[in-house]
């Protein structure tokens, strides 16, 4: 006897910030914005209200029935944007009590304001981010041009052969493989074959490590990478292909060899002395997380803002202008920038950087690095988006983790657990609910980076990496692929994952270190995303949340797409047939979405989700 189908969630009332619920665009203070909520036709609501918070005080405004059919009722209410970030949630008056609809879902209990929907007057990320697929390159390990052979080895470096395996722990920053920017330029065809359109480079400023997060100057590109001319040439080549390029800047600290820090040490009366935090304990200054090689910057120093973040002559502005013309910045250690003890200038710094960028290039993107809960930092008008480890990477890892893999949990001294689907989705919803929808739709979602184990190592198999990639390319936000993940590269730690690209195997169409089938999977999934506006811009409703399968609907005004990801065979599910009155077109995975008689008490027609797994299926519902 087969297992009963898993219940679906599409009978829950729903609202999100996408175009079918809220008019697109950024509102201004004083605007009155219509917001809509959908309620299933079987609902028992007597009235619908919207609770809005103005100046810290809640008030309730009525919603009116806007339209209805045999399946749904739509209510609309007006929310006045009285504060820069205006929170609201829906109240359903029902027999026997009431329910709330906020960003986490539907609750038959009282809830806090923390997960309210939000209207924000702060401009969202540039529109091109809706369509972007980002490719992260760690320059030392991506590609080595012929020019690299003529460059002398610096005194801090230990040479590493291109085919050597990086060390997983220890003095990993000294291993130098010699990748350079000309090597990246020579391999842009690979990026375009894959289908990505935005190149994100980890730091290119000189340092005393292969990662270069210990900058010794912000004025020039590391000669080991080819110098300023190499970045100018790479940027020109990227832009000539209709692509974009994003840089990486550390605003929390410099390297101990930085020009500013050397002057600060040499002359206590210098302006640069005020740029850093000083202590009576060894080594006499504050280092990031105690590392004496990374002295921490004090953003209370006016001169530091002028040099680094504020105005046309700042580091932030200089590299956005020609001839390099970066299309944005990813800010390293953004969560700690401006924070030390009683000082908390993070939001001020972020807003300053954004204002500087807007003056140079209004279309530039500003992305923060924040590994955990970035919610309060994402509502202040600074960062456009965050590297979404907490709202995407961690939950997907815990759902798909190889139980025998022993991968460490990200940032924790414990092994990574394998958890059921409801736990993963609850984590995703919690993080998404902490930020406005305009942020959720631009978060940099990633399965791996230069700071984490590789996706293939985490999940263990090609099939489960396809499931992970399927989620990456269909979930709300901007997908980010760490160079080499598309070929199934492996790595047990962030350092070990910084493996040089095996170009001999790539050029041969596959080999011991390059999985051509996984590359083809990423190609197809990226093309799928590009073919569907709903997958790039649409709202999202969870349809099925089971231990071994997750399904959700992405919707715009003109398209509805259903995504199913399964980590193992499961019982399947039945969805309302009216979701696809004219049938369903399979866009990925090849399975039919059959219209059959349901097994429930109503015995009406349903759409039967297949119970196969592991795998990904995507349908356009007509």
The reported pLDDT for the residue numbered 195 is 98
Q: How many CB atoms lie within 10 A of CB 360?
A: 18
- DSSP H or E run through 358: helix 346-360
Is 70 exceeded by the pLDDT of residue 2? no
Contact 218, 308 (CB under 8 A): yes
- pLDDT tens, position by position, 150-161: 999 999 999 999
Mean pLDDT value across the chain: 96
Q: How far apart are the first and last CA of the chain?
A: 33
Alpha helices in 55-209 (DSSP H): 181-186, 188-194
pLDDT in tens, 66-122: 999 999 999 999 999 999 999 999 999 999 999 999 999 999 999 999 999 999 999
Q: Look at the block and give the residue holding tokens 């060390």.
A: 167
Instruction: Mark 380-409 as b/e (b = at least 16 C-beta within 10 Å).
Output: bbbbbbbbbbbbbbbbbbbbbbbeebebee
**CA–CA distance from 21 to each of 18, 40, 545 (Å)?**
6, 15, 23
Confidence of residue 148 (pLDDT cuts 50, 70, 90): very high
Burial grade of 133 (CB within 10 A; 0-12, 13-18, 19 or more): buried
Residue 67: strand pairing partners = 74
Structure-block tokens of residue 449: 């980076």
Q: What is the mean pLDDT of residues 493-513?
A: 96
pLDDT in tens, 239-296: 999 999 999 999 999 999 999 999 999 999 999 999 999 999 999 999 999 999 999 9
Q: How far apart are CA 331 and CA 444, in angstroms?
A: 13
* Confidence label for 602 from pLDDT (cuts 50, 70 and 90): low
Q: Where residue 3 falls among pLDDT bands split at 50, 70, 90?
A: confident
Mean pLDDT of the 433-454 span? 97
Q: What's the mean pLDDT in 304-316?
A: 97
Name the residue among 362, 307, 364, 298 with its Cα closest to residue 336: 298
Instruction: Decide if 609 contacts 551 (C-beta within 8 A).
Output: yes
Strand (E) or helix (H) holding 138: none
pLDDT above 90 for 146: yes
* Whether the predicted pLDDT of 600 surpasses 80: no
The model's confidence at residue 169, banded by pLDDT at 50, 70 and 90, is: confident
**Cα–Cα dist 333/451, whole Å:** 12
Whether 454 contacts 485, CB under 8 Å: yes
User: How many percent of the chain have pLDDT more than 70?
Assistant: 99
pLDDT at 4: 86
**Is 81:28 a contact under the CB 8 Å cutoff?**
yes
- pLDDT tens, 23-75? 999 999 999 999 999 999 999 999 999 999 999 999 999 999 999 999 999 99
588: left (phi over 0), alpha (psi -120 to 50) or beta: beta
Query: 565: which 2 tokens?
Result: 């990801």
Closest residue by Cα to residue 176 from 230, 227, 229, 222: 222
8 A C-beta contact, residue 278 and residue 324: no
| 39-to-62, 102, 106, 453 alpha-carbon distances in Å | 15, 14, 11, 42
What tokens appear for 418 in the block? 């394998």
Q: What is the pLDDT of residue 1?
A: 35
H-type helices in 130-187, by residue range?
A: 181-186
Distances (CA, A) of 273 to 206, 252, 260, 269: 21, 16, 8, 7
């Amino acid at each position: 006897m087969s297992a009963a189908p898993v219940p679906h969630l599409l009978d829950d009332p729903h609202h999100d910030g996408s175009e079918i619920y809220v008019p697109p665009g950024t509102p201004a203070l004083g605007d009155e914005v219509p917001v809509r909520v959908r309620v299933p036709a079987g609902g028992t609501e007597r009235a619908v209200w919207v609770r809005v918070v103005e100046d810290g005080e809640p008030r309730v405004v009525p919603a009116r029935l806007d339209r209805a059919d045999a399946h749904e009722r739509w209510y609309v209410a007006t929310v006045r944007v009285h504060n820069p970030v205006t929170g609201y949630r829906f109240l359903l008056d029902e027999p026997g009590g009431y329910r709330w609809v906020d960003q986490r879902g539907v609750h038959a209990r009282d809830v806090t304001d923390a997960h309210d929907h939000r209207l924000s007057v702060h401009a969202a990320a540039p529109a091109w981010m809706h369509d972007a697929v980002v490719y992260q390159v760690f320059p030392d390990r991506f590609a080595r041009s012929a020019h690299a052979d003529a460059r002398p080895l610096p005194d801090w470096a230990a040479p590493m052969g291109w085919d050597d395996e990086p060390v997983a722990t220890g003095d990993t920053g000294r291993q130098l493989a010699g990748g350079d920017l000309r090597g990246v330029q020579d391999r842009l065809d690979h990026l375009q074959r894959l289908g990505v359109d935005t190149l994100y480079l980890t730091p290119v400023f000189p340092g005393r490590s292969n990662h270069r997060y210990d900058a010794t100057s912000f004025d020039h590109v590391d000669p080991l990478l080819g110098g300023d001319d190499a970045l100018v040439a790479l940027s020109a080549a990227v832009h000539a292909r209709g692509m974009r390029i994003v840089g990486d800047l550390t605003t929390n600290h410099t390297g101990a060899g930085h020009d500013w820090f050397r002057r600060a040490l040499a002359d206590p009366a210098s302006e640069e002395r005020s740029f850093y935090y000083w202590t009576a304990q060894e080594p006499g200054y504050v280092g990031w997380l105690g590392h004496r090689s990374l002295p921490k910057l004090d953003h209370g120093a006016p001169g530091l803002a002028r040099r680094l973040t504020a105005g046309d002559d700042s580091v932030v502005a200089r590299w956005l202008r020609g001839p390099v013309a970066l299309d944005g910045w990813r800010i390293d250690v953004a969560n700690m920038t401006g924070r030390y003890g009683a000082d908390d200038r993070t939001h001020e710094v972020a807003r300053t950087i954004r204002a500087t960028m807007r003056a140079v290039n209004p279309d530039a993107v500003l992305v923060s690095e924040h590994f955990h809960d970035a919610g309060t930092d994402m509502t202040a008008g600074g960062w456009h988006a965050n590297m979404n480890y907490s709202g995407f990477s961690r939950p997907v890892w815990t759902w798909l983790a190889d139980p025998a893999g022993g991968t460490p949990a990200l940032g924790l001294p414990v092994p990574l657990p394998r958890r059921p689907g409801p736990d993963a989705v609850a984590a995703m919803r919690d993080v998404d609910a902490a930020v406005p929808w305009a942020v959720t739709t631009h978060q940099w979602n990633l399965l791996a980076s230069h700071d984490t184990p590789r996706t293939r190592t985490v999940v263990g198999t090609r099939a489960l990496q396809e499931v992970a990639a399927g989620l990456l390319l269909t979930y709300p936000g901007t997908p980010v692929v760490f160079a080499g993940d598309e070929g199934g590269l492996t790595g047990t730690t962030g350092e070990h994952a910084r493996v040089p690209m095996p170009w001999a195997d790539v050029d041969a169409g596959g080999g011991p270190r390059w999985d051509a089938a996984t590359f083809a999977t990423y190609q197809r999934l990226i093309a799928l995303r590009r073919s569907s506006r709903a997958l790039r811009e649409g709202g999202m409703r969870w349809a099925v949340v089971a231990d071994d399968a997750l399904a959700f609907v992405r919707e715009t005004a003109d398209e509805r797409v259903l995504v199913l990801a399964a980590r193992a065979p499961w019982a399947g599910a039945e969805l309302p047939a009216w979701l696809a009155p004219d049938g369903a077109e399979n866009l990925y995975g090849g399975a039919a979405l059959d219209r059959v008689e349901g097994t429930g008490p109503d015995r009406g027609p349903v759409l039967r989700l297949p119970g196969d797994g592991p795998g990904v299926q995507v349908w356009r519902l007509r």
